[in-house]
Structure 1
Amino acid sequence: MSVGTIYGVGLGPGDPDLMSVRADRLLRNGRHVAFFRKAGRSGQARRIVNGMLHDEVVEFAMEYPVTTEIPVTDPGYNAALSAFYTECTDHLRKLAEAGEDVVVLCEGDPFFFGSFMHLYTRLKDVVPVEVVPAITGMSGAWTATGQPVTWGDDILTVLMGTLPEDMLADAMQRSDAVVVMKIGRHFEKVKSALKRAGKLDAAWLVEYASMPNQTVQRLSEAGDKITPYFSIIVVHGQGRRP
């Protein structure tokens, strides 16, 4: 019996029309589809592909044991996720060894801060694994602002809102263009870092980029709202141009 392939399929920033042709083909023909989600939720990746899956598809929902319940610095956080990824890997490996292909849904691009990477490193030397790249969420966000994010020799830095404020402020100050992801509960800290770096007034807040409920506004006009998980802050570079 031939061994099946695990496909890490990038879905792009959220609009199904922005998927690649290959991603669309794999999704519509896939008999086994796996996706990550928070316990009790349908999962954003699964929502993106509503109406696209085969009638006889077998779905495998991979529910995170923890998300924000304990800090990432807690040893229990890493231990719980490590066991979770190992369990998911075992399930996918058994399907592939039984000759089944499996499509793993990945928001954005699979190799850009995505959970699929943790499956990939555990599977790539055991069964065939292929990655289908996609438009990143940050690309969808800066496109939504209607402005190029970089010009000429601009330096673009991508930062996680989970970083310490001093580190954020330092990196922002040394960059021409900035993208901040994973904001969530770190909203005020990120705003403070941007202010220290002299970039607060130039920052844009994009929520749910390319999705039906997308919003785009200057960060300085966003008030004290707590941004959801699908929020990205963009500071555009203003570098060399003809």
Structure 2
Amino acid sequence: MTTPLPPGIIHGVGLGPGAQDLMSVRADRLVRGARHVAFFRKAGKPGHARRIVDGMLHPDAIEFAMEYPVTTEIPTSDPRYADRLCGFYTDCTAHLAALSAAGEDVVVLCEGDPFFYGSFMHLHSRLAGVAPVRVVPGITGMSGAWTASDIPITWGEDVLTVLTATMGEDALTQRIRDTDALVVMKIGRHLGKLRRAVAAAGRTEAAWLVEYAAMPEQRVTRLADVEGIAPYFAILLIHGQGRRP
């Protein structure tokens, strides 16, 4: 009688903000030794996570590109948006679970940290009880951003608030006004709304925009000096000014 193979492990591996030498030793080892590698990307694009590991994958690695069926084409408030993404994550989960059932380990490449605003979370919740999953934490994009600004983000008892620019303008304004230190992610086409919210909160002069943190294109600019729209990899910062010796 043939003994069934133990299930393979699905690793959600945090790659950090974008530089290979900011990956953890564990992440580097898993990426280089992976037989199966999965990653998210927009249709027609190579995918940022995949770009980070260029030159690192084993020549025989089998790649599985998970292409989003929708990004900005449908408003997130439209029921079709959730329906299409739900089906997409379900299909991706089935593929990974099948590999695991066949005894194959899989490395899922994750920008930043897998548990911080990452798509991997939607796979993780669906894989619970289906396949063994292990998560490798990574340096977040916001850590890369405030390091790029060369200014500490918090001092003393400063309260740090992390927002997404997809929120409503009134909610953004209130939270920006009420916090000591601030990080805003997912800016892109929401820059105009975010700029108005920062101004309404009276904090324009303290705001910085960091684009492509820890990447070759990195740029740090005062929000007041930014024109046009922000790229996808842009983070707004307001540094805390709390107690210090």
Corresponding residue for residue 212 of structure 2: 208
1:9, CA displacement in angstroms? 0.1
Task: Give the 5 Å matches for 1:10-49.
Answer: 10-49=14-53
CA distance in 2, matches of 1:67, 1:56: 31
> Is 2:197 aligned against 1:231?
no
> Could you list the runs of 5+ residues in structure 2 that have no partner in the other structure?
none
CA distance in 2, matches of 1:124, 1:150: 36
CA distance in 1, matches of 2:66, 2:204: 38
Corresponding residue for residue 158 of structure 1: 162
**Residues 171-220 of structure 1, C-alpha deviations (whole Å, 9 max, x = no match):** 01110001000001100100000011111111010000000011111111
**Residues 130-157 of structure 1, C-alpha deviations (whole Å, 9 max, x = no match):** 0000100000001000000000000000
Aligned to 2:94, the other structure's residue is in SS state helix
1:2, CA displacement in angstroms? 1.1
**Which of 2, 6, 23 is 1:2 aligned to?**
6
1:222, CA displacement in angstroms? 1.0
1:124, CA displacement in angstroms? 2.1
Corresponding residue for residue 126 of structure 1: 130
Aligned to 1:201, the other structure's residue is in SS state helix
**Which of 84, 92, 99 is 1:95 aligned to?**
99
**Match of 1:241, as an amino acid?**
R
CA distance in 1, matches of 2:229, 2:176: 21
> Is 2:73 aligned against 1:69?
yes
CA distance in 2, matches of 1:69, 1:37: 15
Aligned to 2:184, the other structure's residue is in SS state strand
**Which of 167, 177, 181 is 1:177 aligned to?**
181
Aligned to 1:53, the other structure's residue is in SS state coil
**Match of 1:155, as an amino acid?**
V
Corresponding residue for residue 136 of structure 1: 140
CA distance in 1, matches of 2:160, 2:201: 15
Aligned to 1:140, the other structure's residue is in SS state helix
> Could you list the runs of 5+ residues in structure 1 that have no partner in the other structure?
none
CA distance in 1, matches of 2:128, 2:137: 16
Aligned to 2:161, the other structure's residue is in SS state strand
CA distance in 2, matches of 1:84, 1:101: 21
> Is 2:243 aligned against 1:240?
yes
> Is 2:145 aligned against 1:146?
no
Paired residues, what number?
241
TM-score relative to the length of structure 2 = 0.98
**Residues 48-107 of structure 1, C-alpha deviations (whole Å, 9 max, x = no match):** 000000010000000000000010000000000000000000000000000000000000
Query: What RMSD over aligned residues (CA atoms) do the two structures have, in Å?
Result: 0.5
CA distance in 2, matches of 1:150, 1:217: 19
CA distance in 2, matches of 1:184, 1:70: 15
**Match of 1:6, as an amino acid?**
I
